[in-house]
Homo-oligomer: A and B are copies of this chain.
Amino acid sequence: MPTTMTILTEADLRQCVPLDLTAVDVVADGFKALAGEGVQMPPILSMAIPQNNGEVDVKTAYVPGFDAFAMKVSPGFFDNPKIGLPSLNGLMVLLSARTGLVEALMLDNGYLTAVRTAAAGAVAARTLARKGPLKAGVLGAGEQARLQIEALALVRDLAEVSVWARDTAKAEAYAEEMSGKLGVRFRTAATPEHVVRDSDVVVTTTPSREPLIRAEWLHPGLHITAMGSDASEKNELEPAVLTRADLFVTDRTAQCALLGELHHAISAGLDVPAVELGVLVREEGEARPSEEAVTVCDLTGTGVQDTVIANHAYAAAKKAGLGREFHA
């Protein structure tokens, strides 16, 4: 039976899905739904191809109230840069939640993931960080270090931003580029400790396998969003950071217990009470226990975010007249 689907390229999607407050609100709605009834979100399918230093993950979720669900295929092949290709690629397949028919193929090479991940950081900051103007800090100087701070700037006034990265030259390039982009003062910091001690809000964006942030550096009023860890071996926060925090929040507790900072705290034998971000977003009140409280949010990335951003992208592309119809 002939069917029609829309094919959207990365260029189409970059044009119609900017990282803006609309994207942040879309992802916030996703977290709300995740805290409600009827969401279906199976464990991530993950396959390593150690022979080629590669891996592929598949995430999905059905979210009530959304017409379609995304099936996101995310390959990471870490020898690609040696041959001039990016490590991360992939696509989303958007399927009708009513019939299972393919509605759109989004050949985004990971762009929508980058947007929805940064948007989740903004949701966490909007829900948990003190009101601004704030001093912000970031660990890492890659794509998410850029997008997380851009997203943060959508929800909080930033007084200044300090950045630390293992590669000092990258941190300097980051500071110069971002300062020009956001019109905010960026400066490099010598150590993660300097970043944490000097910031009101810190975002960690590295693939570190050893903790970068120590519990003794926490100070009143600090909020940390840790979004680097999305695999069991990754770890940015010393486990005691989670127990010393006054409020520890996850995107999905069961998933963070396998892939996030929570995983390492559990392995260290700690008992960490966790609240899911969507529960706080739903409550709509003040989520911070107090001005002086320390809050920590562990983001591993959920299929719900993929489904809501893909629905948003499909609507935005239709509205903009983007994409090619394909008759299969």
Contacts and interface: CB of A to CB of B under 8 A. Distances in A.
Contact of A85 (B48, B101, B105): B101
B80 A58 contact: no
Contacts of A107: 3, 5, 102, 328
Contacts of A40: 47-50
B42 A42 contact: no
Interface string A29-69: 00000000010111111111111101010101110100001
A217 interface: no
A77 interface: yes
A183 B308 CA distance: 53
Contacts of A71: 56, 58, 73
A46 B43 CA distance: 9
Given A73-B95, A328-B107, A58 B85 contact: no
Contacts of A291: none
Nearest to A76: B100
A89 interface: yes
A292 interface: no
Nearest to A78: B100
Interface residues of A, number: 53
Contacts of A9: 328
A5 B95 CA distance: 20
Contacts of A109: 1, 3, 328
A184 interface: no
Nearest to A1: B86
Contact of A77 (B85, B90, B100): B100
A47 B43 CA distance: 9
A19 interface: no
A272 interface: no
Max chain B C-beta neighbours (<10 A), residue from A9, A10, A73, A76:
A73
A145 interface: no
Interface string A1-38: 10101010110000000000000000000000000001
A97 B38 contact: no
A93 interface: yes
12 contacts: A41-B47, A42-B47, A47-B61, A49-B97, A51-B64, A54-B99, A75-B100, A77-B100, A80-B99, A85-B99, A91-B102, A102-B107
Q: Report, nearest first, the 3 A-B pairs whose CB atoms are least far apart.
A: A75-B100, A45-B45, A107-B328
